[in-house]
Amino acid sequence: MKYSIMVNEGPYTHQASDSALQFCKAALEAEHEIFRVFFYHDGVNNGTRYTVPPADDRNIQKEWSKLAETHEIDLVICIAAAQRRGIMDADEAKRQGIDGDNIAPGFRISGLGQLIEGGIIADRQLVFGD
């Protein structure tokens, strides 16, 4: 089955991102397809490479990047939600006149159309949030 995933909460405060990660891993192991993971609301905070959790805790951001690299999963951060919350790639930082970017490897920034497209293309769209 082809799944699209929506993650609506940031890491650590809420379990939504952990649950989404675990679902993606289990689905891939069972040979399902993850068409796209779309990060919205505070979920965009999963995509900053400046996350530095304590050494004895899981690194949720790095696990997403690893998942993207290993399985070529499309991780998309909503641009409108990202702009509100200070998540930037190099192009966006330049456009906004900001002195640096913070997007993590494997993530890309795009529009809400990517979320709707995910719903159209996938067999099932799952929402992980509050």
Partner 1 sequence: MATKKFMFLNRKAPYGTVYALESLEVVLIGAAFEQDVSLAFVGDGVYQIAKGQSTDGIGMKNFSPTYKALGDYEVTKLYVEKESLESRGLTLDDLMPLVWEDEDDDYAEKPSIRLVSSAELAAVFDEQDVVLSF
Residue from 110, 17, 101, 120 nearest 62 by CA? 17
Binds partner 1 by CB under 8 A, chosen from 41, 76, 77, 87 = 41
125 is a contact residue toward partner 1 (CB under 8 A): yes
Sign (positive or negative) of CA dihedral 52, 58, 59, 61 = negative
Smallest separation, CB 5 to partner 1 (Å)? 12
CB atoms closer than 10 angstroms to residue 13: 11
Of the candidate spans 24-32, 55-63, 98-106, 118-126, the one that interacts with partner 1 by CB under 8 A turns out to be 118-126
Our answer to whether residue 78 is catalytic in this structure is yes
Q: Are 2 and 117 in contact (CB under 8 A)?
A: no
In whole angstroms, give the CA distance from residue 79 to residue 2. Answer: 24
1 is a contact residue toward partner 1 (CB under 8 A): no
Binds partner 1 by CB under 8 A, chosen from 15, 40, 60, 105 = 40
Give the residue numbers annotated as catalytic, written as ranges: 78
Q: Which residues bind partner 1 (CB under 8 A)?
A: 6, 8, 40-41, 80-81, 111-113, 115-117, 119-120, 125, 127, 129-130
